[in-house]
Amino acid sequence: MARRKIRLTVNGRGYQVEVEPTQTLVDVLRDTLGLTGTKVNCRMGECGACTVILDGRTVHACLTLAPHAAGRKIVTIEGLASGGELHPLQRAFIEHYGFQCGFCTPGMILSAKALLDENPHPTPAEIKRAIAGNLCRCTGYHQIIEAIEACANAAR
């Protein structure tokens, strides 16, 4: 297969990368760009560990072909902190113990960010719906939902 050059904007920074037509976005982010906060687990879009924000909407980077992301804006967990300060969602996850092993945390936080960007004051049911594509084997979700609610309430 012929490799081709594509341009990506990841966390506000422009990149030109050479990709295979069937290469996934998660592999480009991790292996080419060194952004390892995006996790790889199931490679079937079932767990949400690879969740990133693509043009304002969450996607599973393990199912998204890199050429499909050409010319688009991607946000990974590394793009949330600014000037050495954690994003409010990252702080809320720490303050409310919204993680244990941390493997699902980047995808959970990005799903929550996309929700809060669209709906700054979600109900608990809306929060649960927004993170439904992200599996956590450690926390039981209670602290994750509390963290997202606290972040939404702080923004009021």
What architecture is domain 4-79? Roll (3.10)
Residue type, 59: V
**All CATH 1.10.150.120 domain ranges in the chain, comma separated:** 88-154
What's the rounded Cα separation, in Å, for the pair 86 and 150? 15
What's the rounded Cα separation, in Å, for the pair 119 and 127? 10
**All CATH 3.10.20.30 domain ranges in the chain, comma separated:** 4-79
Average pLDDT over residues 148-154: 94
In the predicted structure, residue 140 carries a pLDDT above the cut 90: no
What's the rounded Cα separation, in Å, for the pair 125 and 20? 40
Average pLDDT over residues 2-23: 97
Look up the CATH superfamily of 88-154.
[2Fe-2S]-binding domain (1.10.150.120)
Helices 105-118, 88-95: inter-axial angle, 10-degree rounding: 130
Average pLDDT over residues 22-34: 98
